Amino acid sequence: MRPGVDVPVPIARLVRAIAAALEAAAAPVPASIGLILSDDSELAALNRKHMGEQGPTDVLSFPLLPPAAFAGTARPGAAADIPPGSRRHLGDVVVSVERARAQAADGRGGQTGDVRWSVADELRLLVGHGTLHVCGWDHRLPAEEAAMRALETRILEHGR
């Protein structure tokens, strides 16, 4: 959590969203995800630098493994090739708490951008969404989007 960022949800609820997303994505076990809770200013800078887009976004993911590392059961990068007692770091998720607050308050939250719900639910969605991106999930194509949205719904139900 960045200094000055007030997070209106217990971190344990966000950790449960990450754990549910890692399990749903068949991530290598044991594994870790870095979670940075920040603001619009940092997300705008990251969005410009890494995505070539102007302005803030709600969540960005920075995977360390290729999407193929999560496909099927014989995953390259599975826990068998790391030292005992250690975890494979899969990547980082950066969330704008400021953007999550605004989206929840304005009724622009949820998967469709038209849900009015708590900032806690919006943060859980963004953390799960970002974690799925770290694990190789995408939503560029309609079929991918439908599958990812269904998985996000399961993740949200799991972490209540």
Higher pLDDT, 152 or 116: 152
What DSSP state is assigned to residue 73? S
Residue 1 lies in a domain: no
pLDDT at position 95 is: 97
Residue 49 lies in a domain: yes
- 3-state class (DSSP) for residue 115: strand
* Residue 131, H or E segment: helix 119-134
Residue 3 lies in a domain: no
Residue 132 lies in a domain: yes
Residue 36 lies in a domain: yes
Give residue 75's pLDDT band: very low, low, confident or very high (50, 70, 90). very low
Domain membership of residue 125 as a residue range: 11-158
Task: Specify the pairing of strand 31-38 against strand 59-63.
Answer: unpaired
Give CA separation, 82 vs 30, 85, 119, in Å.
10, 9, 37
Give residue 112's pLDDT band: very low, low, confident or very high (50, 70, 90). low
Give CA separation, 88 vs 31, 42, 82, 83, 84, in Å.
5, 26, 7, 9, 11
Residue 140 lies in a domain: yes
* Average pLDDT for 60-64: 96
pLDDT at position 72 is: 46
Q: Are 75 and 69 in contact (CB under 8 A)?
A: yes
Higher pLDDT, 75 or 146: 146
Residue 4 lies in a domain: no
Give residue 81's pLDDT band: very low, low, confident or very high (50, 70, 90). low
Whether the per-residue pLDDT at 96 is higher than 90: the answer is: yes
Whether the per-residue pLDDT at 102 is higher than 70: the answer is: yes
Sign of CA dihedral 129, 157, 89, 82: negative
Question: Residue 109: which CATH number?
Answer: 3.40.390.30
**Tokens (6 digits) for 9:** 């949800």
Give CA separation, 126 vs 71, 80, 85, 102, in Å.
22, 30, 29, 13
**Amino acid letter at 125?**
L
Higher pLDDT, 117 or 57: 57
Residue 5 lies in a domain: no
Q: How many structural domains is the chain composed of?
A: 1
Q: Are 143 and 150 in contact (CB under 8 A)?
A: no
